[in-house]
Structure 1
């Protein structure tokens, strides 16, 4: 996993800064794993197995590997499953053998990352299955933990979802507060078009906003907080002129009905905002 597979993500920096946070670098008395240094001999060696305690969709193992290698470059590491693979409880995910202090120091950072990303991938898969509609694409949102967006959106892809815009820079999304300042949906879209923005997503929460947004040049409509019957009417009014996206208040119980209305996309913020961590453990054996 490199910048070529995750554009904009610096793996070495992420590993370095995450370990530095856990070790307390720059703080009085920091910069060390006081427990491992005081209890574990410098030449002690461990073998370890990371395994799933839940049924999960796997995401983040190459990052976990990088944490261990950062502290013991000679550590023997074997990844036993692939990214995006669905595995049952009790599945071995990774085997390790190397310096015991390095393993213990990197353990929590590695596990936190895999638990969080696999949790997102697993929840995403649940939404894809609940949607049960190959003609409709599940999207994430910008509701991500600061600093982790690239990784969290990667995990969504591992779970079978797709990514919405990555940030504020790669598409315009006109929402109610933009409309409030501009004066109308049509005027807000017109200003974005005039500014040369190529992709303009416009949020509408009323049917009478659809035509002004389209006439002004919106390239996608986000149909916000609409019930299925209203969504069907909105899709009919759009008539295939631009892609449509259902958003707002969508959960595992409502996603199938909303996706069945003919929208092209359904976006769900909770994929990254509140996915529960997967239960993954790491057990060591002294050599």
Structure 2
């Protein structure tokens, strides 16, 4: 089908400056005026620790690890054994770090919270992508992300093999049911107003919920039509009404277990809020090396 949806490509890149600002906020929330435990126990002793996968999945969080330790001490050495998008199994070392023990332990929880969540998103996305193997359907995300983590969560989707939908309200038009309702239920009016006010570089997508709305969206010559909350049978029938010049997206509460029901609908994209809004974190631990072996920190 070879068409593109807004935000497709390599996916959102991790903006290092933005990530640094976010990490400062996250660490400030957790540390406050200081880590009472680590600061009371340690001075400048050096330590070594390992990030270990405790379950099977897809890793995401490489830049988080690097940037976080740079904030604490640029001298901390980070050796990555896994890159973003790599598969991991329980017991595998993701990376090892060397530096002041106090820094390694103070930063532990924030780093783990983020990379566990991102890896969970990458893992869930990869499962969805595999269910579409052999088809031209692409899995993409939505704006149902954790406030403050959208950049990272959308990056995690791409690490799992998925694609990004729009990143925010600012980079594409998506006329939804409430927009149409506010226009008196007239889809044509909503599309006309958008096209009169916005330039040719902005893509226009319309959400439809009936066969009649599909026809009207096609007649309005929009760039993307989203079939919202429809059955696999409806999606397959509605798809026949849309020319190949218009991208077709399917959305509306679709879960991983339901995906296979939509394999033969002929749509171009399936967007899933479940990739980010209710995903299970991948189990990853930070283990500190001691003389007797490895102890769980």
Same-fold status (TM-score > 0.5): yes
User: Aligned equivalents of 1:34 and 1:180: distance in 2?
Assistant: 55
The two structures, once aligned, show a CA RMSD in angstroms of 1.6
User: Aligned equivalents of 1:222 and 1:133: distance in 2?
Assistant: 22
- Asked if structure 1 preserves the Cα contact closer than 8 Å seen for 2:20 and 2:68, the reply is no
Q: Deviations over 1:113-166 (max 9, x none)?
A: 110100100010011112334401101000001111000000000000000000
Query: 1:220 pairs with 217, 220, 224, which one?
Result: 224
Superposed displacement of residue 88, structure 1: 1.4
User: Aligned equivalents of 2:122 and 2:71: distance in 1?
Assistant: 25
User: Aligned equivalents of 2:58 and 2:137: distance in 1?
Assistant: 21
SS at match of 2:48: strand
Residue of structure 1 equivalent to 2:80:
79
- Asked if structure 1 preserves the Cα contact closer than 8 Å seen for 2:253 and 2:274, the reply is no
User: Aligned equivalents of 1:156 and 1:9: distance in 2?
Assistant: 21
Q: Which runs of 5+ in 2 are unaligned?
A: 1-11, 292-297
- Asked if structure 1 preserves the Cα contact closer than 8 Å seen for 2:132 and 2:138, the reply is no
Residue of structure 1 equivalent to 2:242:
238
Q: 1:120 to 1:189 in 2, by over 3 A?
A: same
- Asked if structure 2 preserves the Cα contact closer than 8 Å seen for 1:140 and 1:153, the reply is yes
Query: 2:203 pairs with 199, 205, 209, which one?
Result: 199
Query: 1:11 pairs with 12, 19, 22, which one?
Result: 19
- Asked if structure 1 preserves the Cα contact closer than 8 Å seen for 2:55 and 2:284, the reply is yes
User: Aligned equivalents of 2:240 and 2:135: distance in 1?
Assistant: 20
User: Aligned equivalents of 1:222 and 1:203: distance in 2?
Assistant: 5
Residue of structure 2 equivalent to 1:101:
102
SS at match of 1:238: coil
SS at match of 2:85: coil
- Asked if structure 1 preserves the Cα contact closer than 8 Å seen for 2:116 and 2:282, the reply is yes
Deviates more, 1:102-111 or 1:5-14: 5-14
User: Aligned equivalents of 1:264 and 1:95: distance in 2?
Assistant: 41
User: Aligned equivalents of 1:216 and 1:135: distance in 2?
Assistant: 26
User: Aligned equivalents of 2:95 and 2:230: distance in 1?
Assistant: 44
- Asked if structure 2 preserves the Cα contact closer than 8 Å seen for 1:132 and 1:256, the reply is no
- Asked if structure 2 preserves the Cα contact closer than 8 Å seen for 1:127 and 1:252, the reply is yes
SS at match of 2:107: helix
Residue of structure 2 equivalent to 1:270:
274
Q: Which runs of 5+ in 1 are unaligned?
A: 25-30
Give the TM-score, by structure 1 length: 0.92
Residue of structure 1 equivalent to 2:136:
135
Superposed displacement of residue 7, structure 1: 4.6
User: Aligned equivalents of 1:100 and 1:257: distance in 2?
Assistant: 51
Give the TM-score, by structure 2 length: 0.89
1:124 corresponds to 2:125: yes
Q: 1:9 to 1:226 in 2, by over 3 A?
A: farther
Q: Deviations over 1:181-219 (max 9, x none)?
A: 112111111111111253111000000011212222311
- Asked if structure 2 preserves the Cα contact closer than 8 Å seen for 1:64 and 1:109, the reply is no
Aligned residues: 277
